[in-house]
Structure 1
Amino acid sequence: MQALEHIDDPRHPSNGTLHDFREILVITICAVLCDNDTFEKMVAWARYKRDWLRRFLILKNGIPSEETFLRIFRLMDPKQFETAFRTWAGGLLPALEMEQLAIDGKTVRGSSRGGRQVIHMVSAFATQAGLVLGQEKVHEKSNEITAIPALLESLQLKGLLVSFDAMGCQRDIAGQIHEQGGDYLLAVKGNQPSLLSIVEAAFIDAGDTPKTNARAERSHGRQVVQLARVLPAAGRVDIEAWPGCETLGVIDSLRQVGDKRGQWERRYYISSRTLSAEDLAHAARAHWGIENRLHWMLDVNFAEDASSVCKDYAPENLSLLKKIVLNLVRPVPMGKNGKMSMRIKRKAAAWDDDVRAQFLGLTSP
């Protein structure tokens, strides 16, 4: 409630407002927490749980209509909502000294209905904690590169390792992370041909001398073999172009499913942190956690791509709302060995008032 109080109510007072703006936002958070991903379901859940909500909300005129919820999310300033989210999320993680921050984008496919151009959101994901720290919408007729600097500027990067795929391998982005006190890990591909040639040549010249880490893993009929190697960047990379660059890396990986013969894949990296081969392998795996621990989660467990909400600011605000709930649910261990799935956790919140209060950090009345 404290984080939400700095968001302006988008409704015009002269038209009369029956329902408290912050209470509407809290209801939606509670409803999505309880596995309700559409405004129709949110309203239905809130009406059934009216007495429980009144334990900490006034609800002077009852539960708002579905149209009221939708209107709020269409008109609410997403920048203010995002600022409130970052303030709240920052409070969840007071110390991030050894954390890795993965930056990557996701298209909200359902937002293209009605002839509207699909929206694309870039998120910052703390890979160890499994929490989202911020998001930034990519402007129409642009790409992730334009949204990344604004997202980075809003975050405290000191001491963090910030990782990107090849899209984020840009001199300005590396310089910004370095200036903000963080370290970067950038995948190098053909969009930076000169840098790619330098890194490739360095490992060819080094032959078998780089420090190496090998790893093999079998799971569900799949076998993955990974070989990571690192070299010092000194004397090889232009430090003015890539500030603070300390490490060059290459990872060769083979993925084989069943009896099908796999193919080796090679990926190159640069980093401003001094990394061992083991460190590089771990950080590269951690970066791709954003795909299955955030993007996949939003699609499969929060039905983001299936949403029919597509007008005004609603898709952007609804995407952030689901990330708020993910941050509420993920840190709370439940079930055998604390490994209950996200889907069952949300259903448990819907079934049990005490479980819901636990996720929200409330003392059960």
Structure 2
Amino acid sequence: MDGKQLRGTTPTGRRQASVQLVSVWAVEQRLCLTQVPVAEKRSEAVAMPQVLELVDVVGNVVSLDALGTQPALAARLLEREANYVLVLKQNQRELFAQVQARFAPLLVQAPAQEHREKGHGRGEQRRLWLSRYFPLVDAAGAWPGLRTLVCVQTTRWQQGRATCASRYYLSSLGQASASELAGYVRGHWGIENHQHWQPDVTWYEDGCRRDHAPRNLSTLRKLALTLLQCDDTVTSLRRKRKKVARDDNFLR
């Protein structure tokens, strides 16, 4: 679950777009299940509980970015018989500091899972550590069902330069393996790469600015995106879109 601002609707002189949408993305199916607009002058965190009630999450794992990392939302997911993987950032200041301190001595040990890949002119190494024993993380007591802390350290090489970043996660999954947790963490970025990014580059979504059009057309773009991604033709989405416009048989 994640939010997106339609940047083309940002009023002159302001930083926040007037149209913001929170949507739920099914990672394996590459399908947008639902979306809800964020009320004016409110944050994505307010809309997330509303979106959650529209989706059957029983037996699933729900991942949320830092704005959705709230004890109340974690509790609601457990009530709905779902598990969670939540991004932990410094907006949860005390918990973040304690989790960071918990992993400090673990990072000199071998990771529980490691993955390397190359492509698009860059190389990337991802290493994952997890902890299911954290008695000194006092702030964890406020989090319903918290069973596992996760640290993912990413090193990226591009154009002869290396950058390194560490990210932390909270999870209610007590039995999941390191590779499964790595998959959930990696899968969360599917909503960025396959849903948020594609309308921008394939349909120039940020060029849509006025009245109700941005929100309405965002819904139509997601429907079209789902259909194009279901087709197994080996070509870019932009080429598929053009072929649909020119070839009625391909359209059908």
What TM-score do the two structures reach when normalised by structure 2?
0.89
**Aligned pair partner of 1:147 in 31, 41, 47:** 47
Gaps of 5+ in 2: none
- For the pair shown, which has the larger CA radius of gyration, 1 or 2? 1
- Given that 2:106 and 2:129 are in contact with CA atoms closer than 8 Å, whether structure 1 keeps it comes out as no
Match of 1:201 in 2: 101
Q: Counterparts of 1:210 and 1:224 in 2: how far apart (Å)? A: 18
Q: Secondary structure at the match of 2:205?
A: coil
Q: Counterparts of 1:300 and 1:196 in 2: how far apart (Å)? A: 35
* Structure 2 counterparts to residues 263-278 of structure 1, below 5 A: 263-274=163-174, 275-278=176-179
Shift, 1:188, TM fit: 0.8
Taking only the aligned residue pairs, the percentage that are identical comes to 36
Match of 2:116 in 1: 216
Q: Does 1:105 align with 2:3?
A: yes
Shift, 1:234, TM fit: 6.5
Deviation string, structure 1 residues 172-220 (Cα, Å, up to 9, x no partner): 1111111111111011111112221332232235565686111222223
Shift, 1:149, TM fit: 0.5
Counterpart AA for 1:330 = Q
Q: Counterparts of 1:267 and 1:207 in 2: how far apart (Å)? A: 12
Q: Counterparts of 1:159 and 1:166 in 2: how far apart (Å)? A: 22
Worse-matched range after superposition: 194-203 or 144-153: 194-203
Q: Does 1:326 align with 2:225?
A: yes
Q: Counterparts of 1:190 and 1:115 in 2: how far apart (Å)? A: 28
* Structure 2 counterparts to residues 14-93 of structure 1, below 5 A: none
Counterpart AA for 1:252 = Q
Q: Secondary structure at the match of 1:145?
A: helix
Deviation string, structure 1 residues 76-104 (Cα, Å, up to 9, x no partner): xxxxxxxxxxxxxxxxxxxxxxxxxxx11
RMSD over aligned Cα atoms? 2.3
What TM-score do the two structures reach when normalised by structure 1?
0.63
Counterpart AA for 1:105 = G
Q: Does 1:316 align with 2:215?
A: yes
- Given that 1:127 and 1:290 are in contact with CA atoms closer than 8 Å, whether structure 2 keeps it comes out as yes
**Aligned pair partner of 1:282 in 183, 189, 201:** 183
Match of 2:194 in 1: 293
Counterpart AA for 2:242 = K
Match of 1:341 in 2: 236
- Given that 1:211 and 1:277 are in contact with CA atoms closer than 8 Å, whether structure 2 keeps it comes out as no
- Given that 2:122 and 2:159 are in contact with CA atoms closer than 8 Å, whether structure 1 keeps it comes out as yes
- Given that 1:110 and 1:118 are in contact with CA atoms closer than 8 Å, whether structure 2 keeps it comes out as no
Q: Does 1:190 align with 2:63?
A: no
Shift, 1:148, TM fit: 0.5
Count matched residues: 248
Deviation string, structure 1 residues 110-144 (Cα, Å, up to 9, x no partner): 22468996211111111121111111111111111
Counterpart AA for 1:221 = G
Q: Counterparts of 1:316 and 1:149 in 2: how far apart (Å)? A: 20
Q: Counterparts of 1:111 and 1:221 in 2: how far apart (Å)? A: 33
Q: Counterparts of 1:113 and 1:200 in 2: how far apart (Å)? A: 38
Q: Does 1:127 align with 2:22?
A: no
Q: Return the structure number with greater strand share.
A: 2
Q: Counterparts of 1:316 and 1:233 in 2: how far apart (Å)? A: 45
Q: Secondary structure at the match of 2:142?
A: coil
Q: Secondary structure at the match of 1:294?
A: helix
Gaps of 5+ in 1: 1-102, 358-365
- Given that 2:111 and 2:127 are in contact with CA atoms closer than 8 Å, whether structure 1 keeps it comes out as no
Q: Counterparts of 1:146 and 1:268 in 2: how far apart (Å)? A: 23
- Given that 1:233 and 1:245 are in contact with CA atoms closer than 8 Å, whether structure 2 keeps it comes out as no
**Aligned pair partner of 1:251 in 138, 152, 168:** 152
Counterpart AA for 1:304 = E
Q: Counterparts of 2:109 and 2:13 in 1: how far apart (Å)? A: 56
Counterpart AA for 2:2 = D
Shift, 1:162, TM fit: 0.8
**Aligned pair partner of 2:56 in 147, 156, 162:** 156
Q: Counterparts of 2:84 and 2:155 in 1: how far apart (Å)? A: 25
**Aligned pair partner of 1:231 in 94, 117, 131:** 131
